[in-house]
Chain A
Amino acid sequence: MIIAERKPMEEIKGFVADKKKVCVIGCRGCVTVCNAGGTKEVEVLASLLRLDSSKNDSPLQVDEFTLERQCDPEYIDEVSHLMDKRYDAILSMACSIGPQFLSRRYPAERVYPVLNTCFLGGALAHGIWAEHCQACGNCIIHKFGGLCPISRCSKSLLNGPCGGSSGGKCEVSKEIDCVWQLIVEKILQEGKMDDFMKIDLVKDWRSSRDGGPRKIVRQELLK
C-alpha cells in the first residue's frame, strides 16, 4: 500500500492561518490502513486545529468528512455537497493523489495536502512500515530471491553488493539492512549461486519514471 504520514503541525497551521472555515477530508484506503488519514486521524487533526484556534479571538470552524477513496472519481463526487466555496480551504488527508483528484474535480476550491506521501511499503509490525517497491513497472524480484533490489538497495544495484555492505547493514545507515546481504544469503540457501553469478544486464527503465508519467488503459474495462 501507499505509506504516508501527517505533515508537521506547523506546516498545517500555516495552511489555515488566514482561514475561517475549513474541511478535513480523509480517505478509507491505504492511509486508513497506515493510520495516517482515516476517520480517526481526521477527527484528531480537526480537534487539534479547533483547539489551536480557540486561543484566538475568532476560532476556526473545522468540519470533517472521510470518503471511501480519494483516488476514484465516483467517490470524489460524494463530497460535492461540501464544495461550492463553502470552505476557505479543503485539507485532504489522503495520499497526494487525493488532493489532486479533489482539485481537478472541484477547480474553484483551495485544496491542501495534509499528508506527505512517503513510499510503497508494508507493515513490519503495528506502527512500523518499510519500503518494499518503487513501482519500476517491470518486476524482477523472482531473480533475487524474492527481494527487491530496486527499492531496498540504497543504490538500486542489480549486481550487488557494493563495497559498503558491512555486517548485514548498508553503508548509508546502520538502520538499513543491506538487501544484497539478504539476497546472497537466500540464493546460497537455495543453492543457486552458479546461476546467480551471471551478470545482470542493464534494466530497461522506460517502464519506470524514466519514460515519463505512466498510464494504463484497459480496453475491456472502458465504458
Chain B
Amino acid sequence: MTAELAVNIAWEPKIIAFCCQYCAYSAADMAGSMRLQYPTDVEIVLIPCTGRFDVILALRAMEKGADGVYVAGCLEGNCHFLDGNIRARKRVNFLKGELKNIGFEPERIEMFNLSASQGPRFAEIARDFTNRITELGPSPAKKVRNF
C-alpha cells in the first residue's frame, strides 16, 4: 500500500459550520437532546446572526485546514435582524466565485436555512455536507501539505 493511499483511508474531512444562535445553533442543541446522530467532523462556531458571517472567516478556516465550510441561518424572511441571512447568502455566493478563481471547488462552501425547531434537519444538513466533502476529498490546500 502506498503512503498516499494509507493517508487517504485515514482521512476524515474537517468541516466548520458557522451557526446563527437563533436557529441553527438551537437546532443543533435539539438534535443533541433528541439523540440524533450526525458526523463528528462538523465543528460548530456560534455567531450572533449569519449577518455576522464574513468571507474572511471562511477563508481563515480553510487556511487553517478546513476542507469545507457552511453557514446555517434562519429561514428566509425569519431573520431576527431582518436580512442577515440574505446578506450571508450573497457573501457565500461571492466566495464560491473566489474559490473557483483559485482552483478550489465552489461546493466547499454552502449556505443553509433552517429553524430552531428543526433538529432532525440540522443533523441531515451535517450528514449531507459531510458526504459532499468526503466525495470531493481533502482540500486542495492540504493535498501537498499532508503528503
Contact = CB atoms under 8 A, between A and B. Distances in A.
Contact of B59 (A9, A48, A55): A48
Contact of B56 (A9, A44, A55): A44
A45 to B, nearest CB: 9
A47 B56 contact: yes
Interface stretch (B12-20, B33-41, B96-104, B114-122): B96-104
Contacts, number: 44
Interface string A47-59: 1111110111100
A52 B56 contact: no
Given A51-B104, A55-B103, A44 B59 contact: yes
B144 A51 contact: no
Nearest to A40: B56
B76 interface: no
Contacts of B104: 51
Nearest to B94: A44
A8 to B, nearest CB: 8
Q: How large is the interface on A (under 10, 10 to 19, 20 to 34, 35 or more residues)?
A: 10 to 19
Contacts of A131: none
Contacts of B102: 9, 13, 48-49, 51-52
A55 B55 contact: no
A44 B60 CA distance: 9
B140 interface: yes
A54 B59 contact: no
A62 to B, nearest CB: 10
Contacts of B62: 51
Nearest to A10: B101
B98 A48 contact: yes
B101 A55 contact: no
Contacts of A49: 102
B144 A56 contact: yes
Contacts of B55: 44
Contacts of A55: 103, 140-141, 143-144
A88 interface: no
